[in-house]
Structure 1
Amino acid sequence: MLLVTGATGTVGREVLRRLPEFTAGVPVRVMAREPGRVTGAPVAAEIVRGDFTDPRSLAGVLRGVHRALLLSLPSAGGDACFLRAARMAGVRHVVKLSAAAVVDVGAVDLVTRWQRRSEELLCGSGMAWTLLRPRAFMSNTLSWAGSVRRCGVVRALFGTSLNACVDPRDVAEAAVRALTGEGHEGRAYTLTGPGVLSAVDQTQQLAELLGRVLRFEELGVEQARAALAARYSAEVVQALLESAWRGREGSKCGVDGTVPALLGRPAGDFRGWAADHLGAFGAR
């Protein structure tokens, strides 16, 4: 049996859409804290409630599971609980969504430290493992959608910083292939898009696709901190700002060829992702 966690998240939703192509005849279980929010799961999938911090719920979720996809919030505490339960349940292989920053020696922010610790726990668990290390998701630009619709403005910190951002649909396909295929045990995959873009570049491409003028406004550090504080805890906000500073220094520019090698096709670019999500930005 295969288990998919984090099924209501950005990557999890896309994983569920792709599973039927790769799992004919293989039972699938889907874990979510709120099962009613799960959409797009395979028709025969079993959808169950589970919580990364609740060992009792995990014991039931993991019963009979042989391979699991671990899509969790970046906290080593939750991952540690899940991995202990998975090992006790006899899970043989765990595919974990991590982050590209873990291999950057200059990345010492809290979120990256959490991811490193979670990777260490998995690699030392005795279970087979595969690590997926994506760069920033193209879908992060959806945070601009409200201001684009209202006033044609994109506001972001360090607008000329370059990032080899990745289409989350490519990350999902890589996850499904690692979860269902052979030969991925003990492998760590860095997942990027086909090139590097800045927020200014992305704004220009969105404007072209929407057929309207968009204006980019640079946020100051404290403005960015205030905007992030509406969504995240203070410690996570600080980690995100530290990550942004590293990006300004060029730490996120590396383009990796793993996505096309793993998927057998070119990595998706930002223009293609944006074209498929224009409705969010106000296109009719």
Structure 2
Amino acid sequence: MSRILVTGATGNVGKHVLSSLAGAGFAPRALVRDPGTASLPEGVEVAVGDLSSPRTLEPALRDVERVYLMWPGIPVEPRVIEMLAEHAERVVYLSTDVADLADDEQATSFHQDNERLIRNSGLSWTFVRAIDFATNTLAWADQIRQGLVRLPYGHASRSLIHERDIADVAVEALTAAGHEGRRYVITGPESITQAGLVQIIGEVVGREARWEDLPPETAREQLIAAWGNAAFVEARLRAWESFVDSPERVTDTVEQLLGRPARTFRSWVEEHADAFR
């Protein structure tokens, strides 16, 4: 039986990757920094390690054949990719659709740099390029409780994806043949305006909730204060603005790979409704 290492094991996607692998009879090993605080499915082996410290990974990689790799928001560490190649045969890397939009050897971004390292490592690989997560709307929870979300570009249309769909695609790529060297762009099943997303949340949780457009210059200051990364804020604002006239794309990749449609945003809200109440 293949030993599969799951990084980001306690995260929104990783926890579902672990559960699905364990439930299907595979042997997942969870990479965690603090096992005392990690809540993991029964039967999952735990390995202590940190992607920011390659020397801690040797025990976690022992006897591993496949790796689900979710890179945290830290600088790229080439030695980690080298270690994966020394121990494992395959890696499924959770990337972003932005890498697909500029897919060439000269383009540079966080995920593109990681993809390039993986492609050049000798590993067999699959890149799961996910659109923005539906979980990102949890940042609106406090405003939803007040009945009003104030941000720019309410008419920007988004195709947010359920984290369990990302996990299901990752598990398929980890455990089935035919995914080597593939780049999968995965999205939700429909494109909905940001104002429409707020309306759906309100309908599900049973409270009035609406969107009010905030001037981008005002939002820029607030988001930089909240996120601490001016370049990322600028990129987000430009993307949202572009989605007003050109809705975020929708792919049928989830359905093609899994034989069922991607989960809707409404179904995601129904599962997470308590977070908005």
- Whether these two folds match at TM > 0.5 is yes
What pairs up with 1:1-284 in 2 under 5 angstroms?
1-22=3-24, 24=25, 26-41=26-41, 43-75=42-74, 77-78=76-77, 80-88=78-86, 90-105=87-102, 113-149=109-145, 151-229=146-224, 230-250=226-246, 253-282=248-277
State whether residues 167 and 269 of structure 1, in contact with CA within 8 Å, keep that contact through their aligned partners in structure 2. yes
Deviations 1:16-65 (A, max 9, x none): 2222232x1x3321112233332233x22221221112121022221211
Rounded to whole Å, the distance in 2 between the matches of 1:201 and 1:181 is 37
Cα offset, 1:86, TM superposition: 0.9
Deviations 1:109-161 (A, max 9, x none): x9x71111111111111010000011111111111111212x11122221111
Taking a change above 3 Å as real, the CA distance of residues 73 and 114 of structure 1, as seen in their structure-2 partners, is same
- Report how many aligned residue pairs link the two structures: 271
State whether residues 52 and 81 of structure 1, in contact with CA within 8 Å, keep that contact through their aligned partners in structure 2. no
State whether residues 75 and 114 of structure 1, in contact with CA within 8 Å, keep that contact through their aligned partners in structure 2. no
Which TM-score applies when normalising by structure 1?
A: 0.88
Rounded to whole Å, the distance in 1 between the matches of 2:245 and 2:76 is 31
Rounded to whole Å, the distance in 2 between the matches of 1:136 and 1:48 is 29
Deviations 1:218-255 (A, max 9, x none): 122233223333233334333333433443452x5221
Rounded to whole Å, the distance in 2 between the matches of 1:205 and 1:68 is 36
Rounded to whole Å, the distance in 1 between the matches of 2:154 and 2:36 is 38
Q: Which amino acid aligns with 1:20?
A: A
Query: Structure 1: which 5+ runs fail to align?
Result: none
Rounded to whole Å, the distance in 2 between the matches of 1:269 and 1:126 is 37
SS in structure 2 opposite 1:182? coil
Cα offset, 1:267, TM superposition: 0.7
Rounded to whole Å, the distance in 2 between the matches of 1:236 and 1:36 is 33
SS in structure 2 opposite 1:37? coil
Which TM-score applies when normalising by structure 2?
A: 0.90
State whether residues 136 and 166 of structure 1, in contact with CA within 8 Å, keep that contact through their aligned partners in structure 2. yes
Taking a change above 3 Å as real, the CA distance of residues 60 and 242 of structure 1, as seen in their structure-2 partners, is farther
Rounded to whole Å, the distance in 1 between the matches of 2:179 and 2:132 is 23
State whether residues 161 and 248 of structure 1, in contact with CA within 8 Å, keep that contact through their aligned partners in structure 2. yes
SS in structure 1 opposite 2:17? helix
State whether residues 139 and 167 of structure 1, in contact with CA within 8 Å, keep that contact through their aligned partners in structure 2. yes
State whether residues 47 and 60 of structure 2, in contact with CA within 8 Å, keep that contact through their aligned partners in structure 1. yes
What RMSD in Å do the two structures reach over aligned CA positions?
2.1
Rounded to whole Å, the distance in 2 between the matches of 1:21 and 1:177 is 13
Deviations 1:72-126 (A, max 9, x none): 1255513x232111112x21000000011112249xxx9x711111111111110
Taking a change above 3 Å as real, the CA distance of residues 226 and 15 of structure 1, as seen in their structure-2 partners, is farther
